Amino acid sequence: MQALNDPVDALGAGAARVLLEAAIRLQRFDACLIPVSPQNLGWARMALSAANGVLHTPVLALVRDLKAGALNDLYTLGLADFVRDPLCTEELRVRIDRLLDARRYNAGRPSSTSKALSEVSGTYSQPSVAAMLDESAMHQTILERSGLELEAFAIASASRCATTKESFRVAKSQVIERFERAYIKAALGRHSGNIAMAARAAQKHRRAFWALMRKHDIDAAPFRVDPGPNLPRDG
């Protein structure tokens, strides 16, 4: 295992490229351990983002005073796992062994496994990073997603938009519009095109829900099933 414990100036030129530039050297190791705290969280995000897709050595974080939102953010950017400070070497060994076992099991598969932390339950789910960034897959299951998953997806979408030439206003508008469109379609699909029921489930006034449908040019008809003789259609 390689421990990245050399001092890193998080504000220095090239700081975000530390993991990227070490990718080849790190191939000789089973894992890379980096310390992450609120003070260098921004650097960790940039470093993981820059190395994503290039660095194939699993990166673990030795974390201190980080909350679930920050950890989920790191997972969406490529973090493989974490241990808390003070470090327990036995726990670290077990986590690395599990990562290596998972890599061997998934060898040859197209997607890798990532973990999303649920601070409330204390358990882990394992959605892939690719799935988290797949907007169509996310939107199709948006009503089944947890708050933490939606937060992680929003962070990942924002991080991706930040690398484009679009302004903050334009990028934010696009993310919100995609969310609204996906949510409205999912709600209509769940309630078979019944606008009143979909609006009630979304806790929105029917007129406001209808306004969103018009805004995104969404028709309820394709979501309706053929009604029985005693089932009135919702106009």
Pair of tokens at residue 8: 């890193």
* Residue closest to 72 by CA, chosen among 62, 82, 64: 82
Whether 12 maps to a domain, the answer reads yes
pLDDT, mean of each 10-residue run, the chain (235 residues): 56 76 89 93 89 88 90 89 91 87 63 42 40 51 67 67 74 84 88 92 92 93 68 51
Q: Is residue 173 classed as helix, strand or coil in its secondary structure?
A: helix
Whether 114 maps to a domain, the answer reads yes
Whether 151 maps to a domain, the answer reads no
- Could you give the strand order of the β-sheet that contains 59-63, starting from the edge strand earlier in sequence? 2-3, 32-36, 59-63, 81-84
Whether 135 maps to a domain, the answer reads no
Whether 104 maps to a domain, the answer reads yes
Pair of tokens at residue 157: 């979408």
Q: What is the CATH number of the domain that holds 10?
A: 3.40.50
Whether 160 maps to a domain, the answer reads no
Whether 201 maps to a domain, the answer reads no
Whether 158 maps to a domain, the answer reads no
pLDDT at 127: 41
pLDDT at 172: 83
Domain assignment of residue 83, given as a range: 2-129
pLDDT at 53: 81
Structural domain tally of the chain? Answer: 1
